[in-house]
């Protein structure tokens, strides 16, 4: 029996493998680690989160919430794993990395139709369907294979990883617990906040600007940084106040020692369910480790911080999907090849999982002689695929899910809700839900467990 071959056991690959297997297909899942390492992965675990541990907002009627709700409707393995591995994170869906990976691996290994093969893939399988989900750290050899089959040059951007500190090394006589404006899903104070006064803030900015950094892996890149995930020192170069309106924004954080908002603040988010480590939110960077150690200890509350991991920078690889992919995530010039995850041109954990879900289901459908489905434009899943396959190929950049990607409201509705953004967003979500309900009713095999075979 032919199989769905899924290359890469990251977020997208694991979701694709699970969805294809749940649809009745035989699946072979390939992962090159531990035989071949990457510059950013620290383990051999499935679905390892190499940057943040946040899958973004769970606030009702936000765009990230809508995307995750749609994935839950289709029985997403990774959404189920995230629910089990969840740790406090305000409105965000934040997870214990190790537990999250363990739950994913358990779901993959226990599935009777999924076979795991370890080792680097350098050429495409010649039979069945193929889902390429090798992620932003695709090996050089397989990236060359992708260049060959797509007939295009590789594209690069750079992503960065935030530092992590030991919880017991944070000085809580200086730092304080709070969620911004007191908002969290369960009413708890999920973040540790380090307050800076005006003098401390500008001294910190000056130190950032003077720091040494690691050189880019590909010096000839003219635009090496993805706009949605800039290193903190790059943000500082855009102006001395920029950080105060970005990752160091203090709005909504009342320091109990003063009763006021600080001039600036650094937020730390829980890393795991043991609550013994925290990451510096938005502090991805590519400074040398010695400078990170010195400069980040200038932050009040972190003078004696024990760094469990320093920030670092790595290469991300993605294809020019608007010129290459159909909305079903199939290659235009070879319908048996699907792309999913960051290599397909999305940015973000949830977005990667979403494209894996779609590619896995569509690959299984094609294997059984059925038509791959294009998800409705009004849904988050459909809009995400629409963006990466219809954006201007000449200036394409990866994107997160936002309401800007979904169809706009008609003028009458916009006038009705012109003073209420939340109501506008709720209406977009209502329309997305209605479109998805109509879609699934028309395609009974899309929802639930295994297709009848």
Are 13 and 133 part of one and the same domain?
A: yes
Listed residues 261, 286, 315: the one ending a domain: 315
451 located within any domain: no
Range of the domain at 336: 4-154+319-446
Enclosing H/E stretch for 19: helix 11-22
Are 182 and 304 part of one and the same domain?
A: yes
Are 166 and 269 part of one and the same domain?
A: yes
- Give the predicted TM-score (pTM) of the model: 0.77
Q: How many domains does the chain have?
A: 2
How many CB atoms neighbour CB 378 within 10 A?
Answer: 18
Are 116 and 217 part of one and the same domain?
A: no
HSE-CB at 112 with a 13 A cutoff on CA atoms is: 3
What's the CATH code of the domain at 304?
2.40.30.260
Radius of gyration of the chain (CA): 22
Are 252 and 197 part of one and the same domain?
A: yes
Numbers of helices and strands, H then E, in the chain: 13, 17
Are 106 and 208 part of one and the same domain?
A: no
303 located within any domain: yes
Are 268 and 127 part of one and the same domain?
A: no
Listed residues 315, 341, 373: the one ending a domain: 315
Are 346 and 229 part of one and the same domain?
A: no
Burial of residue 13 (CB within 10 Å: 0-12, 13-18, 19+) is: buried
CA distances from 302 to 3, 169, 280, 380, 442 (A): 52, 7, 11, 39, 56
The one-character DSSP state at 10 is: S
What's the CATH code of the domain at 19?
3.50.50.60
Enclosing H/E stretch for 86: strand 86-87
Contacts of 330 (CB under 8 A, 6+ apart): 336, 337, 338, 362, 366, 372
Listed residues 315, 340, 362: the one ending a domain: 315
Are 65 and 176 part of one and the same domain?
A: no
- pLDDT tens track, the chain, 453 positions: 799 999 999 999 999 999 999 999 999 999 987 777 666 667 778 888 877 889 999 999 999 999 999 999 999 999 999 999 999 988 899 999 999 999 999 999 999 999 999 998 889 999 999 999 998 788 888 888 998 888 866 666 666 678 999 999 999 999 999 998 887 655 568 899 999 999 999 999 999 999 988 765 444 444 456 666 788 999 999 999 999 999 999 999 999 999 999 999 999 999 888 888 999 999 989 899 999 999 999 999 999 999 988 887 766 788 999 999 999 999 999 999 999 999 999 989 999 999 999 999 999 999 999 999 999 999 999 999 999 999 988 878 888 899 989 998 888 888 888 888 899 999 999 999 999 999 999 876 554 444 434
Among 135, 139, 121, smallest CA distance to 341 is for 135
Are 290 and 228 part of one and the same domain?
A: yes
Among 294, 292, 249, smallest CA distance to 162 is for 292
Are 217 and 348 part of one and the same domain?
A: no
453 located within any domain: no
Are 141 and 195 part of one and the same domain?
A: no
Asked whether the bond before 68 is cis by omega within 30 degrees of 0, the reply is no
76 located within any domain: yes
């Amino acid at each position: 029996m032919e199989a769905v071959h899924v290359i890469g056991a990251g977020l997208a690959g694991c979701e694709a493998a699970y969805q294809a297997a749940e649809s009745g297909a035989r699946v072979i899942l390939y992962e090159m680690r531990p035989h071949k390492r990457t510059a950013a992965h620290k383990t051999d675990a499935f679905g390892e989160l190499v940057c943040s541990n946040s899958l973004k907002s769970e606030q009702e009627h936000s765009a990230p919430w809508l995307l995750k709700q749609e994935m839950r409707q289709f029985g997403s393995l990774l959404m189920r794993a995230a629910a089990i591995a969840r740790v406090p994170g305000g409105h965000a869906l934040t997870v214990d990395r190790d537990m999250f990976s363990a739950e994913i691996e358990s779901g993959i290994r226990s599935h009777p139709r999924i076979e795991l093969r370890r080792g680097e893939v350098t050429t495409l399988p010649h039979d069945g369907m193929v889902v390429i989900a090798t992620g932003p750290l695709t090996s050089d050899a397989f990236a060359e294979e992708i260049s060959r089959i797509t007939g295009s040059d590789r594209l690069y951007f750079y992503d960065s990883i935030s530092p992590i500190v030991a919880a017991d090394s944070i000085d809580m006589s200086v730092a304080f617990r709070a969620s911004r404006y007191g908002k969290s899903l369960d009413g708890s104070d999920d973040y540790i906040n380090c307050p800076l006064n005006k003098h401390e803030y500008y001294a910190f900015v000056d130190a950032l600007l003077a720091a040494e950094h690691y050189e880019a892996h590909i010096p000839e890149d003219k635009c090496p940084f993805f706009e949605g995930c800039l290193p903190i020192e790059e943000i500082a170069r855009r102006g001395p106040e920029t950080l105060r309106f970005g990752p160091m924004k203090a709005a909504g954080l009342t320091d109990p020692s003063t009763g006021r908002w600080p001039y600036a603040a650094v937020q730390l988010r829980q890393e795991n369910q043991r609550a013994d480590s925290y990451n510096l939110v938005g502090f991805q960077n590519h400074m040398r480790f010695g400078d990170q150690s010195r400069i980040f200890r200038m932050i009040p509350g972190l003078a004696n911080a024990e760094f469990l991991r320093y920030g670092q920078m790595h290469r991300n690889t993605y294809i020019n999907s608007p010129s290459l992919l159909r909305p079903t995530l199939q290659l235009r010039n070879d319908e048996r090849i699907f792309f999913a995850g960051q290599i397909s041109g999305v940015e973000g954990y949830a977005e990667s999982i979403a494209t894996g879900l779609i590619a896995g289901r569509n690959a299984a459908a094609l294997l059984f002689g059925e038509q791959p489905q294009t998800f409705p434009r009004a849904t988050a899943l459909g809009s995400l695929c629409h963006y990466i396959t219809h954006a201007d190929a000449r200036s394409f950049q990866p994107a997160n899910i936002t309401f800007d990607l979904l169809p706009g409201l008609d003028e009458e509705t916009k006038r009705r809700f012109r003073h209420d953004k939340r109501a506008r967003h709720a209406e977009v979500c209502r329309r997305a839900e209605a479109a998805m309900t109509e879609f699934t009713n028309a395609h009974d095999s899309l929802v639930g467990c295994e297709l009848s075979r």
